[in-house]
Amino acid sequence: AVVSTQSTGRFTKPDHPRPVKVWIVFPLVTACFGVYMFVIPWFGSNTLLNGLWIGITIVGGVPLYFLCVNKKYRLSALVKLSDRVTATAGRILNSEVNIQ
């Protein structure tokens, strides 16, 4: 999602202010690497185990989406924790973080 947003935002909203403007090759290489990491294991010797791990990742991600991202169901404690982690990472990386 981040890679596609960086790539499409560059062309659809070129004047939109962005905190980070990346070189166009970086999102393309990242997207290719992500596809590679998803596709190559299916050609390995144990495709059932690979499918199981992908399924666990998807099944684990759905509840996290509803608890942390979806405004209707999210828990305020997790939002506060996420804001603290984001602010701390911003201080460590010496970057500006605007949490609303």
pLDDT in tens, 20-64: 777 778 888 888 888 887 777 777 667 778 778 878 888 888 887
pTM: 0.42
**From CA 83, how far away is CA 76, in angstroms rounded?**
10
**From CA 22, how far away is CA 6, in angstroms rounded?**
8
The pLDDT value given to residue 100: 56
Please give the structure tokens belonging to residue 58: 């998807």
Please state, rounded to an integer, the average pLDDT across all residues of the chain: 78
The pLDDT value given to residue 2: 65
Contact of 56 with 42, CB cutoff 8 Å: no
